[in-house]
Structure 1
Amino acid sequence: MDRFPTPARPAARPTHRPDTLRAGAAALGAVCLLVAGTLTAQAHAQPAPAADSTTVTPAGDYFTAKLTGTASFKSGSVTAKCTVSSSVPTSPPGTDDQNRIPAAPGNHNDAGPVSSPINAPTFSSCSTGIPGVSATITTSGSWAVSMQNGSPSTGTMTIPTGGVVVKTSGLANCTITAAPTGSAQVDGAWTNGAPSTLAFANASVPISVTGGFGCPTSATSSTFTATYQVTDVTAPGSSVTVTG
């Protein structure tokens, strides 16, 4: 008796799981990148924290800033050091608002520094420490200082364009100009006391240098180091203080 022929088995369907897995992984990666990008954008969009409130007292009083120790400007291989420097109110005090703490309520800022215009500090009794090379420092323009309460409190001095010029003469004839293309801000540390002090430690200042042999003509920045005692000249028994 004839047997029925065995039906042929249908061909197995090709599987595409590896492709499917790869596609899924790619989609998951895209989602992760999208989420990461969104989180990064949100992080960048967060506003910067507000500065601390600042109050400078006594409101409306005039002050002087006088160097204690030595002030130094280091520009490449040339360092000028001065033992006398100060910024004082216009004489007689009351002539203008130079070196004056703003009157209330201007002596307080809810979120930021309190600023005062100052007369350009003078520098004298300067030297380089190099035999045969002398130094002089001249200043000009509209200067300012701003005090910011914090931990620590700070004082920022604004040097106007070309506001400091250091000239050396003798074996090296150089001209070093601070803030040559625009005003520059120099940050220092403020300490309340009797007297209070404003200290600059290797603060960077942009410069340009011209001159011949021995001049650091490739230097583009200088460091400034000095400590000033800040005293009240309106009420000598009072201390200039920076608080919140």
Structure 2
Amino acid sequence: MARKSLTEMVADDLLDRIVAGEFPPDALVPGELELSSQHDVSRMTVREAMKTLEAQRILRVERGRGTFVNPLRSWGSLHAVLRAVSEGEDDDAVAIQLIELRRMLETGACELAATRISATDLDLLAGQVEQMRAAHTANDVTAFVESDLAFHDIILHASGNIFVAVLFEPLHRILESRRAETSRVPEIQANAIAMHESILEALAAREPEPARVAMDNHMTQTREDLQRYVLQAPKS
């Protein structure tokens, strides 16, 4: 792995502080002189680090006032957004938006997969459903999440579109974290198994529209379960 430059190190540290809430949206960040002193680097290095975050729309410069943090919705870096979501405080709106993104991408991928999926992939999908069922019975959340993620990953690759799986790869960490939270609820596991069985049935029939609808129904159920069992549940 390539060693980070001083500029990258300063930019990463400032992003860490933003994600941690030290500098919330619209907060003024320290100036070049203060940051150069904190990191024992030149002002030029700090300036380049700030330009990096500004280019990603994480920071904005207001002439005569200073440099401020932009709201998360304005950020232009997927890596930074995922970092904020996975490491920052939990946000109900973000959880819903993640399902909305999955609906947009996964329903289309499932529709494509219906005409392209191989018999081997169908067998693999069936195996993942069986493993989900066994994990549900054993109350093994980790195994359940692994099989759940694997099921969807098989479909993404079976779509035959090289961009779909690549787009989803950066989401894997946050998806794994979210699934681990929601899959602790037995009712959510049971609903997920039923939905995965419907998706598998539609794919096995090689019918694009039913496959799309089955995945869309799964996303609807996922959102409803999230709102019912997680977001509205009392925080411990």
Per the normalisation by structure 1, the TM-score is: 0.21
Give the structure with the larger strand fraction: 1
Greater percentage in helix: 2
